Structure formats: C-alpha cells, structure tokens
Structure 1
Amino acid sequence: MSRFATVRKSQASARQAVSSPEIVKAHTYFTVVISVDRTTINGEEIPTADTEDVNEAVLDVLHTYAQAWDTAVDGSVTDRRQGVLFLIRVEPDGSSSMLTDSPIPLPTPSGGVDEWIRHINELAAAGRLEHAYRLAGSLRERLAEEVGADHTDAVESRALEAYLAYLCQDHRSAMVLTLGVARIRLRQRDPSAVEDVVRATAVWQRLCDTGAVLCHGKELVALWDHLTANAALPGDQGRLAPYVAGRLRDVERSSTATRLGLKQPAAGAIFA
C-alpha cells in the first residue's frame, strides 16, 4: 500500500504597509520561504536589515496580522538555508509556538518523504486539516522541484493534497489537483487513472460556480471519452461518462439562458 494512503482511510515602509489599519482579513494562513538571499511571505518579499534576524522579521510581520485581526495566524516556514520546514502559530499578544515537535527535514530524492507523510497523518488525525493540507502542498512543490511532477512520489503527494483540499471544503483546488493526477496517470497508462477520474467527477459535483463547472466539466468529458475509447471502464463506472456529459449540457443551456435573460429550468434539473 502506498505510504500516502493513510490519510485517505524598503524595510520600514514595507512593515508600515503591512500594519496599516486598512488591511483586509483574507486568510489566517501564510506560506513563508526563507532563502539565502531573500525571504517571502505568500510570495511577497519581506525586506530585512543586514543585522536583523530573519526569523524575527517573519514573526514580526505575522504578529502584525494577528494584532490587526485579533486572532492567531498560522504559517508554514520553509527554511532552505537549513533544509527544514516547520509550522508556527503567532498570537495577537506576540507569543509564538511551533505546531510540530521539531523542524521537518525537506524531502530529497534520497529520502525524507516518509517523515513528511507521518507529520501530515498526525496533523490530520488531530483534526488540523488545514495544516495537513498546507504541508501536503509544500511536499508536492518540493518533490516536483527535486524529482519532477510526474515522479511517483510527486503524483502521490498531489493526490494526497487533493484529498485534504476536499476535506477542507476547497473544492476548486481539489478539482484542479485531482484532474492533474488523472492526466499524469493516463499518460503513464496507470490503471488507477480510472479511480482518479471517478474522484474528479465526485469533486465536480460539489462545484457551485458556473464557470468552474463548465471549464472542468469539459475537461472531465475529455477524460471520460479517452477512457471509453480505450475500453478502460468497468460497467458500473461507464455510467458516469453520460452523466457528466448530460449535466454539462444542462449547465451550458442554463448559462446561455441567463445571458439572454430567458427563463431558466429548475435548479434540480441542472444539479441533480
């Protein structure tokens, strides 16, 4: 059994900008990456003085958000200088704590993946799904850099991240990730690709945004057509292909009617 399966069963001006009272609370989770020459938080570089400790600079920024929003904020910190990742929480009063017992070594082609999976399992079992989800995403990104997105471990980590995204109600991300897994496994002629397309169909049913339903529905139809053409479908799963095509047609008609100001069919006819 795959080891991934367990979860399934300028400085002043910058700081001033961050601490602005006009800051909008969009999320309470931050992705921090510390490299030798730069530090970023959610992709934005944080200027630091030559004599300033980078870790303190990161904590200072996160504390500013926690104070502004009057709630604890969490973050995953990837320290590429030391080759580790750790999860932290910063409280409005400025206190901070690690959410894992110790820093997690960054995975490499020669190992470290199992330890990440263990931490992800522990976080998920403890109900910290958001942290498990973010850690799985960090693992996927790291493996894609180290061994390539099509490597077995990278694909498995993507599938794990997709499942955790689903549990976290992030259905759009779960859809994108699951479709990515399915496409890779189809290229590799992996029989488990059928299960991935079935999972993608289940996630698709959870999408509410019409644009997302249409976009990903077309991708799903293409995947089902591919499987059908290659006789790769068991009988019971073969019924899903016409279901997806039928629902997609209904949503397309409803979308067209909305644009033209025509009377729409009942919601049940579209999303049944």
Structure 2
Amino acid sequence: MPHSLTPRDKGNLPALSAQPLIRLDAYVAEDGSTVVNGHLLAMGGTRPPNEAILDAVAMFARTLGTPVAATVIDRSVRQVARLRVHPDGSSRTIGEEEDLPPGRERTTAEEKAFPPLARVERIIQHAQREELHAAFVLAAALREHLTLRRGAEDELSLEARAIEAYLAYRRGDYTTSTGLALTVARIRCGSDLHRAVPEVARATAAWQRLRDEAQVATRGQELLHMWERLSAAGLLREPSHHAMAQTVRARMERGSPYAGTPAPAAALTAAQVQVAPEDTPLAPTRRGLRRFTRRGSRSDG
C-alpha cells in the first residue's frame, strides 16, 4: 500500500465501546496532507487523499468487524463529508439529517475513539522532535474538528487554535500564525478580558514578524484596539505588555518599515471588531459524493 497509519498497533484502534457507531475523523489540508483519527498518513505516489482515507477507515472496519462512521473535513474542496464504511470495503456518504443531531451526544461519540487531549500529546511529541509539518497538520485537523463539533468559542477549540498558531510561528508562517492568534485573542476579548492579555501578546509577537504592508496595517489596527481596551480596563500589569502595546502603536504611527508610505493607526470601535473566526466556510455534507462512494470487496492493492 502507498500509505499507512503510523504506528500500526491496537492502541490506534477506536474504542470498542463507542456507541452507537464507532466514529473516526479525517482531515485533508489544502496541500493534500491527510490525517485519519489523529494520525498523519504517509502518502506515496499520486494516490488521492479520498482513496487513502477510504482505505484507512475500511481497515478499521475490517479489523473490528463492524461498520464505521467517519467525518471528513476536506479543505482542498472546502467540504464536510460524513461516511459510512463497511467491513467489505463498501462506503457511502450521508446527509446531515441522517446522522445524530449536533450536540453533546454526537460530540461524545465522535471524541470517544481518540480524545482531544491524547491528540494534543501526539502533536507535542512531533513538535519536540522538530517534525513541525506533521505537528502543524495534526493541530489544524484537531482545531477543525473541534470547531465543527463544539464551536469556535469552546475552550478546547480555542486551545487547539492557539497550539496551531504557535506551530505556524515555529515554521516561520507568520501570516497564518497572526491570523490564528488574533482569532483566539478576539474571542477572549469578547468573553474574558483577563484571559485575553496573553493571547493579544502572542498575536503581537507574530504580527511583529509580518512583512506584507496590507497585513501589517490591517492586523495592526485590530491589535492596537485590543491593547487600548486592555489598558482602559487596567489589565496591562506587566512591563512587557506595556512595551508590546507601545511597539504596535509606534509601528502603526510611523507606518510599516516595509511599506512605501506610512499607514496611520485608526482605532476600531467595538462594533467594528470581527468576533467570528476567519475560517473559510465548509460546504455541508450531502448524500452520494462520488469520491467517497465504493462498492464492496475492493482490494487495497
């Protein structure tokens, strides 16, 4: 097979007690990197991600001798797909109305096989080994699925987004890191200003590395507004936070050193601050998606 789950052992199998149907999840990044149940697939050749996902999920179904459900977030086509895969290799997609209704019961069932905190541990292990691409893709997969299940403002969703922002920073992708960190800071500012301070600081650290003039100006305006809110609330108690706020203010006043003309600061009103995350919307699942439909007795060779 041109791909595999790593490592392959019984510890990777979903819990047999998961009810009412064993549920896995999968994620396809925009670059084609593919994750199944918290494990990055080692892709080979030109095999498309949907085929790799179906093979991996069918392996679980055959091993367990029972149908398996899988929720796929495919960023390459910006769509969610909900699958049913059987031990004989057959598969189909279902509509949202055919699944458990969104809520605690479905979330519990989906997270029982491989809990989020166990996935965070795996991400940390990759990061400690400097496997930053793997760590980043796994973090993105975790954040996407937690956001789909629990909403962007859920505590676990926010933590996953913060981890993803940190890993993007480690990889030198400061644009992505700034966007992710700003979303966390934005949500914190709307719910708990006390917890917003470190998040605004992290977003500022990434923003300071930006080189794109438009990004510096747009993101800087929002950061400046956040620092001013925190200052007005008397929450800038650390000298480092005062210094970061001043850094943003000074850079906005003089314009980006990488820009041709100054970009003056323009404080945003509370009504102008976008609360929602910047994630590109995903098309909902629907029945009969051909790329995830197979007849039974398909060979993996």
Is the 1:137–1:161 Cα contact (8 Å) retained in structure 2?
yes
TM-score, scaled relative to structure 1: 0.58
Q: Kindly indicate whether the alpha-carbon contact (under 8 Å) linking 1:74 and 1:88 is maintained by their aligned counterparts in 2.
A: no
Q: How far apart, in 1, do the equivalents of 2:218 and 2:252 lie?
A: 10
2:194 to 191, 203, 210: 191
Which residue does 2:225 correspond to in 1?
222
State how 1:14-93 maps to structure 2 within 5 Å. Answer: 75-78=33-36, 84-92=37-45
| Distance in 1 of aligned mates of 2:257 and 2:127 | 41
Cα distance change on mapping 1:116 and 1:85 into 2, 3 Å? closer
The structure carrying a bigger helix percent of its residues is: 1
* Partner in structure 2 of residue 251 of structure 1: 255
Alpha-carbon contact 2:255-2:262 (below 8 Å) kept:
no
Q: 1:41 to 1:153 in 2, by over 3 A?
A: closer
1:233 counterpart = 2:236:
yes
Work out whether residues 119 and 142 of structure 2, in 8 Å CA contact, stay in contact via their aligned partners in 1: yes
1 CA distance for matches of 2:39 and 2:33? Answer: 8
Aligned with 1:209 (options 212, 234, 241): 212
Q: Whole-Å Cα distance in 1 between the matches of residues 251 and 218 of structure 2? A: 13
Shift of 1:74: 7.0
Query: 1:247 Cα deviation (Å)?
Result: 0.6
SS in 1 for 2:248: helix
Residues 194-249 of structure 1: per-residue CA shift (max 9 Å, x gap): 01111111111111111111111111111111111111111512232232111112
Aligned mate of 1:168, from 151, 168, 171: 171
Cα distance between partner residues in 2 of 1:218 and 1:93: 44
SS of match in other structure, 2:42: strand
Q: Pick closer, same or farther for the CA change 1:197–1:258 going to 2, 3 Å.
A: closer
> 2:210, 2:118 → 1: CA distance?
33
Q: Does structure 2 retain, via aligned residues, the 8 Å contact 1:204–1:216?
A: yes
Residue 132 of structure 1 corresponds to which residue in structure 2? Answer: 135
Aligned to 1:181: 184
User: What letter is aligned with 1:87?
Assistant: L
Q: Distance in 1 between matches of 2:28 and 2:205?
A: 33
Asked whether the equivalents of residues 74 and 90 of structure 1 are also in contact (C-alpha less than 8 Å), the reply is no
SS in 2 for 1:77: strand
State the AA in 1 paired with 2:188. R
Larger relative contact order (C-alpha < 8 A, sep ≥ 6)?
A: 2
Deviates more, 1:213-222 or 1:242-251: 242-251
1:41/1:176 CA distance change after superposition, 3 Å: closer
1:79-123: CA deviations, max 9, x gaps? Answer: xxxxx35312234598xx99xxx98x98x7434112211221221
Alignment partner of 1:149: what SS? coil
Identity across the alignment (%): 30
Query: d(CA) in 2 for partners of 1:155 and 1:229?
Result: 25
Q: Which sections of structure 2, spanning at least 5 residues, go unmatched? A: 1-25, 54-58, 61-69, 72-105, 264-301
Q: Secondary structure at the match of 2:236?
A: coil
Q: In structure 1, what residue type is equivalent to 2:164?
A: E
Question: Residues 258, 144 of structure 1: CA spacing in aligned structure 2 closer, same or farther, 3 A cutoff?
Answer: closer
Root-mean-square deviation (CA), in Å? 3.5
